[in-house]
Amino acid sequence: MFLAAGGVPSLELVVATLAGGSLAAGSANALNCYVDRDIDALMRRTSRHPLALSPERARVSPRSALIFGLVLGELSTALLWATTNPLATGLTVAAIVLYVLGYTIGLKRRTSQNIVWGGTVGCMPVHVQIAARHADPRTTTRYDRARGNLDRHANYIVAAFIAGAA
């Protein structure tokens, strides 16, 4: 964000973007745990996750985890909408959706290409930060630069999807 700002961005913007991003990451993680609770129970590395345990030993109910994940996503969206701009908010929502639907549900159990999707989502915070700082329609040059980054990223996502489907 500091490089995108060409200096030091406001503390309010940095804190809001970090908090919104953290909420979004928590949302995606909780939803991933909810969806993968059956296979998490089978893998040694993930067998101690709160939802991977048998229902009588589980530390968190699946319903509670689902609600928690959805609420974190809503809080993230609301916070970023109120403190940044629509592009940063949209990228954050897209990252959650891409992680849960594209990675966790769509490819994780089907192909090794899931790692491409995971990496794609992993680089989204950079785009969110750039968008949060530069997606101001009053600053056309900065807006175009942020939009160009989004377009390049979208092209990568489409290519990854095609490669995974082939």
> Each residue of 44-69: pLDDT tens digit?
888 888 888 777 777 888 999 999 99
124: in domain: yes
99: in domain: yes
CA distance 53 to 9: 44
CATH number at residue 42: 1.10.357
Nearest one of 49, 20, 16, 15 to 32, comparing CA atoms: 49
The mean pLDDT of 129-155, rounded to a whole number, is: 57
Nearest one of 148, 119, 121, 131 to 89, comparing CA atoms: 131
End-to-end CA distance of the chain: 36
What is the share, in percent, of the chain residues with pLDDT greater than 70?
A: 75
66: in domain: yes
* Structural domain span for residue 159: 8-165
CA distance 93 to 81: 11
Total count of domains within the chain: 1
Please state whether the predicted TM-score (pTM) of the whole model is above 0.85. Answer: no
> Each residue of 11-50: pLDDT tens digit?
888 899 999 999 999 999 999 999 988 888 888 888 888 8
CA distance 90 to 134: 14
> Each residue of 115-137: pLDDT tens digit?
776 777 777 887 788 888 764 44
82: in domain: yes
